[in-house]
Amino acid sequence: MSTPILRQLQGPAHTRIYAYGAARGENYVPNDDLVGPIDSSDEWIRQRTGIVTRVRAAAETDAIDLASEAAREAVEKSGVDPSDIDAVIVATISNPKQTPSASAIVADRIGANPAAAYDVNAACAGFAYGVGQADALIRAGLAKHVVVVGAEKLSDIVDPADRSISFLLGDGAGAVVVGPSETPGIGPTIWGSDGSKADAVGMNHTLTEFRDGTAPWPTLRQEGPTVFRWAVWEMVKVARQAIEAAGIQPSDLAAFVPHQANMRIIDEFAKQLGLPESVVIGRDIETTGNTSAASIPLATHRLLEEHPELSGGLALQIGFGAGLVFGAQVVVLP
Ligand SMILES: CC(C)(COP(=O)(O)OP(=O)(O)OC[C@H]1O[C@@H](n2cnc3c(N)ncnc32)[C@H](O)[C@@H]1OP(=O)(O)O)[C@@H](O)C(=O)NCCC(=O)NCCS
């Protein structure tokens, strides 16, 4: 008996980002509100990180609420009917329930049920991972329209007395709709990991240790200087690779949106990449803080509101964080 040949799917040649959506935590928390338990000061935090205030969500708001709000805005602006969304990818490390996924609930809430839905655990690189996957899923014919969300409520997994990280983190979500395009709108994704540095940033305890009473509620902590050096030395190379892979020059960029981890890292990137003055740089960290997977789409959403002339221009985005993991690509701004 001869085996029938399977039909294979083939999608469109190109994809692009149609629209962005954003949701920030309801409360602004200035440095002075956090310095007590970490023996710090407003001045130290401003000088070392560029953060003046960060957004944090109300107790009753969770990462799924933030994700749904951001996704709803992105879908509305995209003009895509929610029933035409085939996949919803939520990048998050702060959904306190392991299962069900945040993405299945978000898909249902935005009217995309029965879209495929799954969460991505790639910390601050999660959004760039998600955009890379959306691009690949569509070009492979597995989906036509994909919603990618980065969503975090980090304030639930922060120890207010941990001076390595507590003052950095904020809550929010950013989302995009990705779909077919006549011309290339998402450049090749450069992504990877280095698990030999898994201890540099992440949770300090497991849930089973917490259950057994041998450890307190798990929270995020980091070896700040280790991550700082890795970001400045290794991530600049990744950013350069993303530019080269896209076949462009740094001077072709309209915007640069790195993960909002520290203003000094952002400044160092811009210097080492030799970005011309004309490139607009995302500096959302100043008033939003570090929102991990949400930081890149939140910063881009703000840039597009403040600089509508960026529409149609090229933006380099790069995320990096716990894993360690990294992801970068050049995209055409909607
Ligand atoms: C966390 C971070 C802001 C700390 O800044 P830093 O310049 O590296 O600071 P260091 O840890 O080297 O400490 C410098 C000094 O400040 C002190 N210090 C550290 N944390 C402090 C705080 N929160 N408040 C006040 N002083 C602090 C240290 O004790 C040290 O004092 P000393 O010089 O008297 O010994 C920085 O390392 C950072 O942003 N790291 C990368 C974060 C990142 O990219 N994360 C990605 C995953 S989200």
Which residue has its alpha carbon closest to ligand 1 atom 44?
261
Kindly give the number of the ligand 1 atom that is closest to the alpha carbon of 290.
48
289-300 residues labelled b (16+ CB within 10 A) or e (exposed): bbbbbbbbbbbb
- The residue contributing the CA closest to ligand 1 atom 27 is 40
To the query of whether residue 145 is one of the catalytic residues in this protein, the response is: no
DSSP code per residue over 271-302? HHHT--TTSEE--THHHH-B-GGGHHHHHHHH
Cα(164) to ligand 1 centroid in Å equals 6
Mutate to test the pocket of ligand 1, among 33, 48, 152 (most ligand atoms within 8 A of CB): 48
**Ligand 1 pocket member 228 (CB < 6 A):** yes
Is 301 among the catalytic positions?
no
Alpha-carbon distance of 54 to 56, in angstroms, equals 7
Q: How far is the CA of 244 from the centre of ligand 1 (A)?
A: 33
Q: Which residues pair with 293 in a beta bridge?
A: none
Is residue 321 within 6 Å of ligand 1 at its C-beta?
yes
Q: Which atom of ligand 1 is nearest to the CA of 164?
A: 1
Does residue 289's CB lie within 6 angstroms of at least one atom of ligand 1? no
The answer, yes or no, to whether any atom of ligand 1 lies below 6 A from the CB of 40, is: yes
Spot the catalytic one: 95, 124, 262, 301: 124
Ligand 1 centroid vs 225 CA: distance in angstroms? 6
- Ligand 1 centre from 41 Cα, in Å? 12
pTM score: 0.96
Residue 1 has what pLDDT? 80
Q: Tens digit of pLDDT per residue, the chain (334 long)?
A: 899 999 999 999 999 999 999 999 999 999 999 999 999 999 999 999 999 999 999 999 999 999 999 999 999 999 999 999 999 999 999 999 999 999 999 999 999 999 999 999 999 999 999 999 999 999 999 999 999 999 999 999 999 999 999 999 999 999 999 999 999 999 999 999 999 999 999 999 999 999 999 999 999 999 999 999 999 999 999 999 999 999 999 999 999 999 999 999 999 999 999 999 999 999 999 999 999 999 999 999 999 999 999 999 999 999 999 999 999 999 999 9
Work out the number of other CB atoms within 10 angstroms of the CB of residue 39: 9
- Cα 167 to Cα 46, 189, 222, 241: the distances in Å are 10, 31, 12, 32
DSSP for residue 6? P
Q: Which amino acid is at 165?
A: I
> Which residue is closest in CA terms to ligand 1's atom 1?
224
**307 in active site:** no
Atom of ligand 1 nearest to the CA of 201: 47
Nearest ligand 1 atom to alpha carbon 49: 3
Give the active site residue among 31, 95, 145, 259. Answer: 259
Q: How far, CA to CA in Å, does 68 sit from each of 16, 45, 151?
A: 21, 31, 9
| Residue 64 alpha carbon to ligand 1 centre in Å | 31
